[in-house]
Amino acid sequence: WSGTGKNFVARLLAENLYRDGLRSDCVKTFIATLHFPHPKYMDLYKEKLTSEIKETQERCHQTLFIFDEAEKLHPGLLEALGPHLAHQTPKNHRVESPKTVFLFLSNLGGNTINAAVLNLLQAGGTREEIKLDQLAPQLQAEIAESTDTGFGHSCLVKENLIDFF
Q: pTM of the prediction?
A: 0.85
Residue 62 scores a pLDDT above 50: yes
- 8 A C-beta contact, residue 100 and residue 81: no
Distance of alpha carbon 79 from alpha carbon 23, whole angstroms: 27
User: Nearest 5°: CA angle at 153, between 151 and 157?
Assistant: 75
- 8 A C-beta contact, residue 64 and residue 30: no
User: Nearest 5°: CA angle at 121, between 118 and 122?
Assistant: 85
pLDDT tens-digit series, residues 6-22:
999 999 999 999 999 99
The reported pLDDT for the residue numbered 102 is 95
All residues at 6 or more sequence positions from 89 whose CB lies less than 8 Å from its CB, including other chains: 83
Pairing of strands 99-104, 62-68: parallel
Q: What are phi and psi of 78, to 5 degrees?
A: -60, -40
All residues at 6 or more sequence positions from 108 whose CB lies less than 8 Å from its CB, including other chains: 70, 71, 142, 143, 146, 149, 151, 152
The reported pLDDT for the residue numbered 146 is 82
Identify the three-state secondary structure at position 152: coil
Mutual orientation of helices 132-145 and 110-122 as an angle, nearest 10°? 140
Pairing of strands 99-104, 27-31: unpaired
pLDDT tens-digit series, residues 81-105:
999 887 644 455 544 546 899 999 9
Q: What are the domain boundaries of the chain? A: 6-108+146-159
